[in-house]
Amino acid sequence: MKFVDEVKITITSGHGGPGAVNFRRESGTPRGGPDGGDGGRGGNVIFKTSRHINTLGDFKNNRKYNAGNGQAGARDNCTGQDGADLVLIVPEGTIIRNLEGEILFDLNKNTQETILFGGRGGKGNTFFKNSVNQAPEHAQPGEESHTLDIALELKLIADVGIIGFPNAGKSTLISKISAAKPKIADYPFTTLTPQLGVVNVGDYSNFVVADIPGLIKGAHAGVGLGIQFLKHIERTRLFIHIVDVSGISGRDPMNDFEDINYELTMYDEMNKDKEEFFALSNREQIVVLNKIDQLSPEQVEKFKSQFKKKYGVEVYAISAITGKNLQEFLKTVGNKILKSKEAEDEDKNSQAESL
Ligand SMILES: Nc1nc2c(ncn2[C@@H]2O[C@H](COP(=O)(O)OP(=O)(O)OP(=O)(O)O)[C@@H](O)[C@H]2O)c(=O)[nH]1
Ligand SMILES: [Mg+2]
């Protein structure tokens, strides 16, 4: 079980461009005054957080990151171009340590930090002209670049929890929508520890899904694997509630749905006095009827309308195995997560304003 994402990288700022040594050439004046310009500044290495990404996966393919170097100064007092800053985007909550393990920066929400500054550009020979020396022959070199080995560390926080009976297809779903490779088998309690998967939505956004062991009736009293795993999804934004409608289990899907919700209520009851507790039974749920490859379209429609009618919930019908309706469902989840993050940001902003 890996809840921490970590990656070691080397960052280097740009060196400053050297100043130029040059003298004006004008007709009739073999050697005019100095006109060597200054070198440009080297690029900084900047870290910026984004709430659209949840992992450090982008840093796993490349270990070295360099900002641009400053350009040399030139004649006519032309200053060299500054080196381009390197802006590295990391998830909110990323911690930057040196290799000794000391925390250098803790990047919380909406932060931007310059971690390494580029070297200053060297002065051109114009700068050194004075009453004594009208024709300085020297210029400054640019300042050196800086290199730093760092470790980026992120504690993964699940946005979505997948709940349901054993064998409902929770692990199959997470294996289809993320790179996670959980064990999948046709016996109950295949999953013994929570697993996290990162789901990419479009090119720049992702969210984290937690697959937890299955719940069964009486879990709050210790039946099956119990309910202690629910603590891993206490802080998620919503639940995907998977219900097996294939009939393979021999149980009634609506009973299953009610049993799981009852266990959530019991979890709340047992934990309500805990400090910083977030109740589960009133968490938004997207209900997903799974294994519809085993049913006729009419049977699927019947289940959908029964769930809608009885519980007033949003219902999707998918086959985690064949992928049927999976993309449309993921889009819905992705949009909900994005909205939830935006609402949280607005909340934070208005709280900050009212302070
Ligand atoms: N026909 C069909 N079988 C499925 C589908 N999704 C999952 N299964 C099968 O259902 C069985 C259980 O799947 P898992 O993904 O391991 O179920 P789980 O909910 O993670 O189960 P636990 O970890 O035991 O709680 C496996 O044999 C899967 O191949 C589906 O859409 N259609
Ligand atoms: Mg499983």
Contact 49, 72 (CB under 8 A): no
Per-residue pLDDT tens over the stretch 222-277: 888 888 888 888 889 999 999 999 999 899 999 999 999 999 999 999 998 888 78
Rounded to whole angstroms, what are the CA distances from 328 to 19, 33, 201, 317, 335?
Answer: 59, 71, 12, 10, 11
Residue 134 burial by CB count (10 A; 0-12/13-18/19+): exposed, middle or buried? exposed
- For residue 247, the CA-to-ligand 2 centroid distance in Å is 18
Which of 253, 234, 232, 246 lies closest to 172 in space, CA to CA?
A: 246
Domain boundaries defined on the chain: 4-25+32-155, 160-354
Strands 147-155 and 4-12: antiparallel
Identify the residue whose C-alpha is closest to ligand 1 atom 13: 169
Identify the residue whose C-alpha is closest to ligand 1 atom 12: 167
Residue 1: band (very low, low, confident or very high) from pLDDT cuts 50, 70, 90: very low
Whether residue 286 is predicted with pLDDT greater than 80 in this model: the reply is: yes
Contact 87, 94 (CB under 8 A): no
What's the confidence (pLDDT) of residue 338?
Answer: 87
Record: fold of 4-25+32-155: Spo0b-associated Gtp-binding Protein; Chain: A, (2.70.210)
Q: What is the mean pLDDT of the chain?
A: 90
The one-letter code for the residue type at 137 is E
Record: fold of 160-354: Rossmann fold (3.40.50)
Per-residue pLDDT tens over the stretch 55-107: 788 898 899 999 999 999 999 999 999 999 999 999 888 999 999 989 999 88
- For residue 184, the CA-to-ligand 1 centroid distance in Å is 6
What's the confidence (pLDDT) of residue 3?
Answer: 57
Give dist(CA 232, CA 227) in Å, integer.
Answer: 10
- For residue 320, the CA-to-ligand 1 centroid distance in Å is 8
Whether residue 115 is predicted with pLDDT greater than 70 in this model: the reply is: yes
Identify the residue whose C-alpha is closest to ligand 1 atom 24: 189
Pocket of ligand 1 (CB under 6 A): 164, 166-172, 184-186, 188-191, 213-214, 246, 290-291, 293-294, 319-321
Q: Which residue out of 167, 173, 191, 303 has the highest number of ligand 1 atoms within 8 Å of its CB and is therefore the one to mutate?
A: 167
Per-residue pLDDT tens over the stretch 194-219: 888 888 877 667 888 999 899 999 99
Per-residue pLDDT tens over the stretch 164-175: 999 999 999 999
Identify the residue whose C-alpha is closest to ligand 1 atom 3: 291
What's the confidence (pLDDT) of residue 276?
Answer: 78
